[in-house]
Structure 1
Amino acid sequence: MTRSSVAFEGTKREQKAVARKVARSVKTSSGKLDRSAGKRRTTTIIVTGILVIVAVYFLVPVYWVVVAATKSSQDLFGTFGFWFAPKISLWSNLHDVLTYDGGIFVRWLLNSVLYAGVGALVATYLAAAGGYALAKYEFKGRNLVFGTILGGVLVPGTATALPLFLLFSQLHLANTYWSVLLPSIVSPFGLFLCRIYAQATVDTSLMEAARLDGASELRIFHTLGLRILSPALVTVFLFQLVGIWNNYFLPLVMLSDPKKFPVTLGLNNWLSQVDRLPEFYQLTTGGVLLSIIPLGIAMVVLQRFWRGGLTEGSVK
């Protein structure tokens, strides 16, 4: 055995001895390791309190919607708002929502599924393609293109709604499904996220190996790039899905045919009639309850992928 190996073995023994001393020093009287190092009771209480306040802030409106959907229009104003009425009218309210005006609410709900589902899917694919190209290919003006697209994040959607309406009017696309779908397939934030994620996860050597095997650039993107980017793609899809589903101003500007309304615009149309027809209160509250169910299902199904996409690469 050489001197260097003897010295190395001695160093390892010293490191193990130090580790054992540290482990013994953090043991409690019961013989278990003390895992509370670095944690203060005051900090824990403050953080827990903040999380409880945030949870209440987001859950109270949902709870109110559930309670209000079980009441008739009379009970909605004659009973305590945050508790159920003596008579539960949930199923009759939902039946009225689904059957009113020939089932127009179902049409609105399907329109929202079309706008949000197709728009989010296409926007995610385009964001993945653009982000992948900007991250893995060198070409002149790449940073300028990325900066220009990223500037779209700073522009609110309400600022572009009127110019888009004038443009679609010239193209005879106003008051059509395309007038809502086409603006929804662009996601500057999604492209930004996909570019950052592709830079961190897509290995250039893997792409070179695929090229040596004769794979085309499109095949490399679809077989390797999309699979590696899948956590980020789920994140982009969920953000875009929620954004399109809750979008109100763009359909308001673009659409005039009630049969093409999304659920947000349709419910606002019902709400505007409550002054002359009070029964629209229960129709609106029941419709709001039904409208949040698809988003809740999407969140439950995609949350594990979303969480993994946001934290991927944080620990190596």
Structure 2
Amino acid sequence: MSTAMTLSTPPKTASSTAASDPAPGGPGASRSAGRGGAEKPSVIATGVLLLGALYCLIPIIWVLFAASKSADELFSTFTFAPSTHLLQNVQDLFSYRDGLFLRWAGNTALYAIGGALVSTLVSAAAGYGLALFDFRGKKLFFNLILAGVLVPAVILAVPQYLLFAQAGLANTYWAVFLPSILNPYGIYLARIYAGASIPREMIEAARTDGAGELRIFTRFAVPMMLPGLVTVFLFQFVGIWNNYMLPYIMLGDDSLFPITVGLSTLMNQGASQPAMYTTVITGALVSILPLIALFLLLQRYWQSDLTGGAVKG
């Protein structure tokens, strides 16, 4: 029976093969090209992205032009017309009260770098434990972390001040540094990334070879989580660098101020001294330069993260 069926089936000739294959310009070819080749970018989507980028860049462009103007030109010339007083404004900013702005910049770097590093380490350890360990109350603990993500930091500022005041730590560096260590969103990101990037088989093999948990975490887990931890570090660094409410409530000595609170005090003086507006704008321009440099330096980690995710997918 099978032999008869085999004999009755005509051999596939070149003409039948050509007929069965889709024509180069046919619908089948277009579908396969659409699946295999790169899709053409949408003009509408590109236009929307360009408008969004322009919307984000306009304030930066305005700050750059405004910082190049004198106090008289700031309110009397066209908004986006540049001037030639940028270097003088920078010198005036750095010489204000014997370099108080440089003190504010150093405080901001101390709060942001130290807080972001310690917070990233805590997030990495907590995320690693939540992703690869099973313990009682794990789900409840993770749900509490998610609830912490939903709570705005502004709501916690006043209770934190009362606690630090009772402990005698208000108006100190610790009052800004310690609240920045615990970052619920960073723990959430570290947990997600650890679960996706660290294979359990490797952890079990390392334990079988006699490696301790601390060595496994520092020698194996952290390098695998590095691209995700860079993201956590950047988010926390930018959050601390731009934080205003917490140091404004915690600190009373202007020598401990970060840039955000320091520029705010200068802004309040602008009502009686209009020349201070130029100093504030110049300070705002200088304060965003470290953030731009940091993103450019750490961009390659994000690119490797995206490439690794594409290979895994």
| TM bracket (short chain) | 0.7 to 0.9
Structure with greater Cα Rg: 2
Cα distance in 2 for residues equivalent to 1:210 and 1:37: 42
- Give the match for residue 45 of structure 1: 43
Cα distance in 1 for residues equivalent to 2:172 and 2:245: 15
Cα distance in 2 for residues equivalent to 1:152 and 1:237: 18
- Give the match for residue 173 of structure 1: 169
> Residue 99 of structure 2 is aligned with which of 79, 95, 103?
103
| 8 Å contact kept, 1:235–1:310 | no
Say if 2:131 is the partner of 1:130. no
- Give the match for residue 301 of structure 2: 305
Cα distance in 2 for residues equivalent to 1:61 and 1:293: 14
Q: Work out the percentage of aligned pairs sharing the same amino acid.
A: 47
Note closer, same or farther for the CA distance 1:183–1:311 as it changes in structure 2 (3 Å cut): farther
> Residue 164 of structure 1 is aligned with which of 160, 165, 178?
160
For 1:204-283, list aligned pairs within 5 A: 204-283=200-279
**TM-score scaled by length of structure 2:** 0.87
Which digits, 9 at most, give the CA deviation of each residue in 1:190-243, with x for residues without a partner? Answer: 111111111111111101111122110000000000000001000000000101
- Give the match for residue 5 of structure 1: none
Say if 2:111 is the partner of 1:115. yes
Cα distance in 1 for residues equivalent to 2:23 and 2:309: 29
> Residue 82 of structure 1 is aligned with which of 77, 80, 83?
80
Cα distance in 2 for residues equivalent to 1:160 and 1:102: 35
Note closer, same or farther for the CA distance 1:36–1:57 as it changes in structure 2 (3 Å cut): farther
- Give the match for residue 54 of structure 2: 56
Give the C-alpha shift of residue 290 in structure 1.
0.6
Equivalent pairs counted in the alignment come to 290
Which digits, 9 at most, give the CA deviation of each residue in 1:110-143, with x for residues without a partner? Answer: 0000000000011001000000001101111111
Cα distance in 1 for residues equivalent to 2:274 and 2:23: 70
Which digits, 9 at most, give the CA deviation of each residue in 1:52-108, with x for residues without a partner? Answer: 1111111010000010110001000110011113xx111110000001101000000
Cα distance in 2 for residues equivalent to 1:34 and 1:156: 45
Cα distance in 2 for residues equivalent to 1:187 and 1:306: 20
Cα distance in 2 for residues equivalent to 1:98 and 1:203: 51
- Give the match for residue 70 of structure 2: 72
User: Runs of at least 4 residues of structure 1 off by over 4 A?
Assistant: 20-26, 33-40
Which digits, 9 at most, give the CA deviation of each residue in 1:13-41, with x for residues without a partner? Answer: xxxx89x9569458xxxxxx89997857x
Cα distance in 1 for residues equivalent to 2:175 and 2:294: 25
Say if 2:177 is the partner of 1:184. no
Gaps of 5+ in 1: 1-16, 27-32
Tell me the secondary structure at the aligned position of residue 214 of structure 1: coil
Note closer, same or farther for the CA distance 1:192–1:23 as it changes in structure 2 (3 Å cut): farther
| 8 Å contact kept, 1:69–1:282 | yes
- Give the match for residue 296 of structure 1: 292
> Residue 93 of structure 1 is aligned with which of 61, 65, 89?
89
Give the C-alpha shift of residue 312 in structure 1.
4.3
Gaps of 5+ in 2: 1-16, 27-32
Taking only aligned residues, the RMSD between alpha carbons, in angstroms, comes to 2.3
Tell me the secondary structure at the aligned position of residue 313 of structure 1: helix
Say if 2:137 is the partner of 1:148. no
Which digits, 9 at most, give the CA deviation of each residue in 1:237-291, with x for residues without a partner? Answer: 0000101000000001000000000001100110100111111011111111110
**TM-score scaled by length of structure 1:** 0.87
Cα distance in 2 for residues equivalent to 1:299 and 1:290: 15
Cα distance in 1 for residues equivalent to 2:195 and 2:228: 12
